[in-house]
Amino acid sequence: MSEAKSITVARGDGIGPEIMDATLHILREAGAQLEIEEISIGEQEYLKGNTSGMSAGAFDSILRTKVFLKAPITTPQGGGFKSMNVTTRKALGLYANVRPCVAYHPFIHTKHPGMDVVVIRENEEDLYAGIEHQQTVDVTQCLKLISRQGCERIVRYAFEYAKAHGRRKVTCFTKDNIMKITDGLFHKVFEEIAVEYPDLENEHWIVDIGAAKLADTPQSFDVVVMPNLYGDILSDVAAQVAGSVGLAGSANIGPEHAMFEAIHGSAPRRAGQNLANPSGLLMGAIQMLVHIGQVEAAERTHNAWLKTIEDGLHTYDVYEEGKSREKVGTAEFAQAVGERVGQLPDTLPAAHYNKEEAQVKTNPPYERPVVVRQLVGVDVFCEFRGSTAEIAELLQQANADNLQLRMISSRGMAVWPQGFAQTLLCDHWRCRFTMDNPEAGEALPHGEIVALLDRINRTGLEFIKTEGLYYFDGKPAFQLGQGQS
Ligand code: NAD
C-alpha cells in the first residue's frame, strides 16, 4: 500500500460540498491514500473581503502539498473580485490544462459514439494575460502575448502526454493565417517539437475549420493542443458534444504544483438538493490520483464509475427514460460507485493506467535562440478627431531624414497613403514611421524614436503608445497594415 499523500481540498460553493463529499467517499472506498488539508475558498471569502477568494493561509497549504482538489466556486457578480482560478493557475504556473472528453455510448446520450479526445489548452498566456486598456474614447485593446517558452512547454507537454497515454496523434489548432506572428510562433514551435516524436502523427488545422470538424467528427482527433482562448472555448464544446460538461474533469498542471477540478461551475440552483452529478469532479480526482502515482486507486475508481454508468444508475442530468435504470441522487450515486470498487465495466473499455503516465516529462531547459535584433522604426498610436488628410499632414511635419511616415491605419486597415473610403474611422490611429533601407542591416538608434515623439508632441497630436518595429535576422518581425503594399 502506498504512503498517504497530503493534498489540499476545497469544498467550494453551491453544489461543491455535495459533489466533494461524494468524490472523497468514492476515493476512500477505492483505497486512495490521502491526507486531506481543507481550505476555505469562494463566495464566503470574497464576501469577507478576501479579493483573492481564498482564506489566509489557504495558499500556503497548496504551496506545501503541491496538489489541490477543488470544487467549483461562485464568483460574485460585479467588479473588484479577481478570478480565483486564474490567480491560482498563474501564481503556481499551472500552464497545462488537460481535459479528456469521452463518450459513454450507449449508456449516456452522445452526439458522437466513440469520441475520445483530450484537449490540452495552454493556460497562462494569450489574451488571458489580462493586459487590457481603454486607449481612446472610441477604442479598447487587449494584448495577446505568446512566448516561445510558453509554446515549447505546452506543446512538449502534449506530445509527452500522448506518448505516456498510448495515443497516436497530436493535432495543433491556431489561427496563424491571420495572426502570423503570435499564432505563427505556436504553430512553428509545434512543428519543431513534433519532429522529436517520430512515433506520433502530427497535424495542424486552422482553428475555425478545426473547431467545426471537432464538433462534427471528433473521431478524427486524438490529443489536440491549442492556445488559451481557443482551448477555453473548444474544451467546453468537446466536453458537451461528448455527452455533457457535467461529466468532464480537468487537470491544471505546472512544473511543481497541480490543481484538479470539474469543468462545470457551482450550479447554485441545484445546491443542497442531493441532485448534482459528482462525475466531473470525480474525473478530475482520477487525474489527480494518476498524477500522484496512485494508479491502482485511479483504475479502481474509474472502473467502478464506468460500471455504475453501465448499470444505468444516473443522476438527473444524464438520466434518460428507457435508457437509464434508476434516477439517483448525489449521495446514492457515490454509494453505488463505492459498492462497485473492484468491478470492471462489461461493455465500455476498462480504464488502465500505468505508473509512467504520472511521469509526463516537461520543462527541459529553455534555450533562447540566438538572433540579431534590429530596430527599424516605430508605430506611434495617436488619438485624433479629424480627417486622414489632416492627421497625415501633422505627422509629416515630424518626419526626419531617416525616419519617415510610411503608413497610417485605422483598426489595422491602411488608410494612408492609400485607403478605401468605406473604412470606418475613429479617434485611434496607428502611424508607422520606418527608416530607409532597413535591409542594409543598420539599426536605428533609440534616440531617434525619442526625438520623433518629441516632434509629434510639438505638432499638438497626442500619442497613446508606441510599438517598436524590429527585424530579426534581417527579416521583418511585424505585419504590414491590411491593404498596405
Ligand atoms: P454551471 O456550470 O455552474 O451550471 C450551469 C447548469 O448546468 C446548472 O444550472 C445545472 O443545470 C447544470 N450543471 C452543472 N454542473 C452540474 C452537475 N455537476 N450536476 C448536474 N447539473 C449540473 O454554470 P453557471 O450557472 O454559469 O455558473 C454558476 C457559478 O459557477 C458562477 O458563479 C460561475 O462564476 C461559477 N463557475 C465556477 C467555475 C469553477 O469554479 N471552476 C467554473 C464555471 C463557473
* Domain boundaries along the sequence of the chain: 5-358, 373-476
Which of 373, 374, 394, 376 minimizes the C-alpha distance to 385?
A: 394
pLDDT at 262: 96
Q: At residue 34, what is the residue type?
A: L
What pLDDT sits at residue 126? 94
Pocket perturbation via mutation, ligand 1, pick of 86, 247, 266, 332 by most ligand atoms within 8 A of CB: 266
How far is Cα 287 from Cα 396, in angstroms, rounded to an integer?
Answer: 61
Q: Which three cell numbers stand for residue 329?
A: 441522487
Rounded CA separation 467/485 (Å): 20
- Residue 78 Cβ contacting ligand 1 at under 6 Å: no
| Sequence-distant (≥ 6) Cβ neighbours of residue 234 within 8 angstroms | 119, 173, 207, 211, 214, 224, 226
Cell digits of residue 469: 518595429
Atom of ligand 1 nearest to the CA of 19: 18
CB 364 within 8 A of CB 328: no
How far, in Å, is the centroid of ligand 1 from the Cα of 440? 58
**What pLDDT, in 10s, does the model give residues 209-248?**
999 999 999 999 999 999 999 999 999 999 999 988 889 9
- pLDDT value at residue 2: 63
Residue nearest to atom 39 of ligand 1 (CA): 72
Q: CB of 246 closer than 6 A to ligand 1?
A: yes
Please name every residue paired with 69 in a beta bridge, in sequence order, or none if there are none.
Answer: 9, 260
* Rounded distance between C-alpha atoms, residue 116 and residue 82, angstroms: 34
- Return the SS3 of 62: helix
Query: 244 in ligand 1 pocket by Cβ < 6 Å?
Result: no
Homologous superfamily, domain 5-358: Isopropylmalate Dehydrogenase (3.40.718.10)
Report residues of the chain scoring pLDDT below 50: none
Q: C-alpha grid cell for residue 263?
A: 469543468
Alpha-carbon span 430 to 412, nearest angstrom:
8
Cβ burial of 72 (10 Å; 0-12, 13-18, 19+) is buried
Which pLDDT tens digit goes with each residue over 254-296? 999 999 999 999 999 999 999 999 999 999 999 999 999 999 9
Q: Is 228 in the pocket of ligand 1 (CB under 6 A)?
A: no
Q: Which pTM was predicted?
A: 0.93
Considering the domain 373-476, what is its CATH architecture? 2-Layer Sandwich (3.30)
Contacts of residue 158, defined as CB under 8 A and 6 or more positions apart, other chains included, come to 96, 120, 170, 223, 225
Residue 179: burial class (beta carbons within 10 Å; 0-12, 13-18, 19+): middle
Q: What is the CA radius of gyration of the chain?
A: 26
Amino acid identity for residue 142 in this structure: C
Q: SS3 of 426, please?
A: coil
| Whether the Cβ atoms of residue 120 and residue 155 lie closer than 8 Å to each other | no
Q: What is the pLDDT of residue 305?
A: 98
**pLDDT at residue 129, rounded to an integer:** 84
Position 334: which residue type? Answer: A
